[in-house]
Amino acid sequence: MRVRGGISTAAKRRSKTTSRDGTSSTETRRPTGTPLGDHAGKVDRDLGRLLTAMAGLATRIRQELPVRRDPASTRNVYGEQQLELDVWMNDLFVDALRGSKLVAQVASEEMGEVKDVGRGRFSVVLDPLDGSSNVKSNNIFGTIFGIFDRKSLPARGSDLFAAGYLIYGPATTFVYATEAGVNEFVQEGGARSHEFLLIEDGLRLPSKGKLYGVGGHRDRWIPEVKAFVGELERELMNLRYGGSFVGDFNQILHYGGFFAYPAQVDKPAGKYRLHFESNPIAFIAEAAGGAGTTGTERIMEVAATSIDQTVPTYVGNQDLVDRFRSRF
């Protein structure tokens, strides 16, 4: 599902600046005034309602951050220590999806099973708190989600109807993608602080990637990854790695490049969760003109064998992903 087409009018109007390290940045226009629900509703009315319900949780999440930073007494299905915020955000999203009356099933990184929540048309997968290790240090984290239309979970990424993420950064932003393209919104301040307004539609990865980031331990990377990273370093690409998939991919979306959490010698299946992280981000990457691979196959073509399976994950500009995949 690669979207064809040129850069949007909004993108053409952006002016570029260059940082000290040579990375081009873009200055976007102020929000156009188009609310998220109205924008998505033109694609599908129910999708607009569902995304509005999810985005509407952002203000409450921001309010709870200062008081829910401590570890919880529980671990998720992967054996990872949960934060109070992990558990609370999971319950918050599940309750909101149930209350929307639009969702039949929900699966989350924080739960060990698919949960039936109603008789709606959508099934939703999500990582409620991506980058939880960044909470203590007050660095970027967010929420990743994927939406299936009339599909039971688990499901292939190629069956996704929409995907997106929230970022709780200096500004709260919301990105969603369908086959029609990728769109970005920002939460406005003032009297309409609850509302997300359009910054840009038809987002495309820049034609030349400038950044790269790779997770895991370098000494445990498989040889193909070590060799390719060395190649990117010799090409003077700039390293960016912030410890949250959502934040690191957002850099790639705006500046272009390559991001991976690779296969390692002790973890050949990688770390990222196919349903909750890899499929949604690969969907967005492809909708923006990029690609996502496990090294040997397209991420979204991986057979869904269990809700908690993991895959090596490599996403970014099409040419860089193709170059990497040619090593296998």
Q: Which domain holds residue 235?
A: 211-325
pLDDT (0 to 100) of residue 85: 87
Predicted pLDDT at 19? 47
Please state the domain count of the chain. Answer: 2
Asked if residue 47 and residue 156 are part of one domain, the reply reads: yes
Query: What is the rounded CA–CA span in Å between residue 45 and residue 49?
Result: 7
Q: What is the pLDDT of residue 6?
A: 36
Q: Angle, to 10 degrees, between the axis of helix 318-325 and the axis of helix 223-234?
A: 140
CA dihedral 108, 114, 119, 123 (to 10 degrees): 50
Q: In a 3-state reduction of DSSP, which class is residue 87?
A: helix
pLDDT (0 to 100) of residue 235: 97
For position 135, what pLDDT does the model report? 83
Instruction: Provide the whole-model pTM.
Output: 0.89
> For residue 206, is it within any domain?
no
Residue 262 sits in a domain whose CATH number is 3.40.190.80
* Residue 98 tokens, joined: 């149930």
Assign residue 193 the CATH number of its domain: 3.30.540.10
2 belongs to a structural domain: no
**Domain identity same for 243 and 190:** no
Whether 251 and 184 map to the same domain: the answer is no
pLDDT computed for residue 75 by the predictor:
66
The dihedrals phi and psi of 161, each to the nearest 5 degrees, come to -95, -35
Token duo for residue 37: 């629900």
pLDDT at 55: 98
Cβ contact 147:275 at 8 Å = no
Token pair 């932003």 is at which residue? Answer: 173
Question: Up-side HSE of residue 277: CA atoms within 13 Å toward CB?
Answer: 27
Can you give the pLDDT of all 328 residues of the chain as single tens digits?
433 333 343 444 344 444 444 454 445 456 778 999 999 999 999 999 999 999 999 999 999 888 876 666 576 666 676 678 888 999 999 999 999 999 999 999 989 799 999 999 999 999 999 998 888 888 999 999 999 999 999 999 999 999 999 999 999 999 999 999 999 999 987 555 689 999 999 999 999 999 999 999 999 999 999 999 999 999 999 999 999 999 999 999 999 999 999 999 999 999 999 999 999 999 999 999 999 999 999 999 999 999 999 999 999 999 999 999 999 9
Do strands 181-187 and 172-178 pair parallel, antiparallel, or not at all (unpaired)?
antiparallel
Q: Cα separation of 192 and 285, whole Å?
A: 30
The answer to whether residues 50 and 124 belong to one domain is yes
Residue where the block lists tokens 């950064």 = 169
Residues 6+ apart with CB under 8 A from 118: 98, 101, 102, 103, 104
Q: Which of 258, 237, 236 is nearest to 327 (CA)?
A: 258
Residue 1 covered by a domain: no
